[in-house]
């Protein structure tokens, strides 16, 4: 995809990777709309970047997604890129006598069902543009799961699979399907301590590398920073190699 002169919608744009992507695309001359649940968080971002638009959206509410799609069609008819970035990541204890499935349900609704519903709702608008793209943010954990976040890892594996199939179905249309698979990044996805964890990739470094890939490899369908390669290609190490990597990742936790 081209990285300039787009109208881009980013869910979860009020913080973390979503906000950083919004800022990076905005500085490159794109029209950016950030969506999220909290207007105050969106306003903070847009105040720092005049011209950036905002729109409140509860991605877990199918009716709100329908309302949101109609608003985007009305207010931003030139929309040609949607970045499905909103997500939650919470630990789960499946060793408990009674497993609380509320986290699993919320994670599936936010990380998997929402991108599917939003993409379906916006595809007719994207198909009207000369060139457009659906960008899904998955995770390195789609390929090598973190056992303490089983549903999160599963939803990201599903997003990878969904992206593969959607790309194939839309291969003869004007809509590209791109997947960004982050490694462990310094955000507050699992709490404030993650934002300063020295084991996590600095957010600025991650965004710089992502944008560099998009700019230099415009035909890329998977955007993989070097730091995520170990996870992304874990299966290529064979069963023994994969099991060793899985033990390293999860044993340390």
Residues 78, 125: Cα–Cα separation, whole Å: 8
Give pLDDT tens digits for 77-92.
999 999 999 999 999 9
Instruction: State mean pLDDT over 122-138.
Output: 98
Q: How much is the pLDDT for 249? A: 93
Given a cut of 70, whether residue 6 has pLDDT beyond it is: yes
Instruction: State mean pLDDT over 209-232.
Output: 97
Average pLDDT, the chain: 96
The string of DSSP letters for 134-165 reads EEEE--GGGTS--TTSHHHHHHHHHHHHHHHH
Contact 39, 56 (CB under 8 A): yes
Which strands form 132-137's sheet, in the order they lie side by side?
53-56, 31-36, 7-11, 81-84, 132-137, 175-180, 222-223
Instruction: State mean pLDDT over 116-139.
Output: 98
Q: How much is the pLDDT for 74? A: 97
Q: How much is the pLDDT for 129? A: 98
- In the structure, what pLDDT confidence band is assigned to residue 251 with cuts at 50, 70 and 90? confident
Given a cut of 50, whether residue 253 has pLDDT beyond it is: no
Give pLDDT tens digits for 144-184.
999 999 999 999 999 999 999 999 999 999 999 999 999 99
Q: How much is the pLDDT for 23? A: 97
Give pLDDT tens digits for 34-80.
999 999 999 999 999 999 999 999 999 999 999 999 999 999 999 99
Residues 8, 21: Cα–Cα separation, whole Å: 10
Give yes or no: 242 in active site: no
pTM of the model: 0.96
Q: How much is the pLDDT for 252? A: 53
Active-site residue identified among 68, 143, 152, 206: 152
Domains of the chain, earliest start first: 7-227 (3.40.50.720)
Kindly tell me the burial class for residue 171, based on how many C-beta atoms sit within 10 Å of its own C-beta (0-12, 13-18, 19 or more).
exposed
Kindly tell me the burial class for residue 61, based on how many C-beta atoms sit within 10 Å of its own C-beta (0-12, 13-18, 19 or more).
middle
Bridge partner residues of 135 (DSSP): 83, 178
Given a cut of 90, whether residue 127 has pLDDT beyond it is: yes
Q: Is the dihedral of CA 9, 42, 139, 161 positive or negative?
A: negative
Given a cut of 80, whether residue 196 has pLDDT beyond it is: yes
Residue 132: which region, alpha, beta or left (left: phi > 0; alpha: psi -120 to 50)? beta
Residues 105, 100: Cα–Cα separation, whole Å: 10
Residues 90, 102: Cα–Cα separation, whole Å: 11
Instruction: State mean pLDDT over 188-210.
Output: 97
């Amino acid at each position: 995809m081209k990285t300039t002169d787009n109208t881009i919608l980013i869910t979860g744009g009020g913080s973390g990777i979503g906000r950083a992507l919004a800022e990076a695309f905005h500085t490159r001359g794109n029209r950016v709309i950030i969506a999220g649940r909290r207007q105050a968080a969106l306003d903070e971002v847009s105040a720092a970047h005049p011209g950036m638009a905002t729109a409140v959206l509860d991605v877990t509410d199918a009716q709100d997604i329908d309302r949101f799609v109609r608003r985007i069609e009305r207010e931003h008819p030139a929309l040609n890129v949607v970045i499905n970035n909103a997500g939650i990541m919470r630990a789960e204890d499946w060793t408990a006598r009674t497993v609380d499935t509320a986290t699993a349900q919320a994670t599936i609704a936010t990380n998997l069902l929402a991108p599917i519903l939003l993409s379906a709702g916006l595809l007719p608008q994207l198909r009207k543009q000369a060139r457009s793209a659906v960008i899904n943010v998955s995770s390195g954990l789609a390929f090598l799961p973190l056992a303490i976040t089983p549903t999160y890892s599963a939803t990201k594996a599903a997003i990878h699979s969904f992206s593969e199939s959607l790309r194939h179905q839309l291969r003869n249309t004007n809509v590209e399907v791109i997947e960004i698979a982050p490694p462990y990044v310094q955000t507050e996805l699992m709490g404030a301590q993650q934002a300063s964890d020295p084991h996590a990739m600095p957010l600025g470094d991650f965004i710089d590398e992502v944008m560099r890939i998009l700019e230099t490899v415009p035909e890329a369908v998977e955007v993989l920073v070097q730091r995520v390669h170990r996870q992304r290609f874990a299966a290529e190490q064979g069963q023994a190699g994969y099991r060793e990597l899985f033990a390293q990742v999860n044993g340390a936790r």
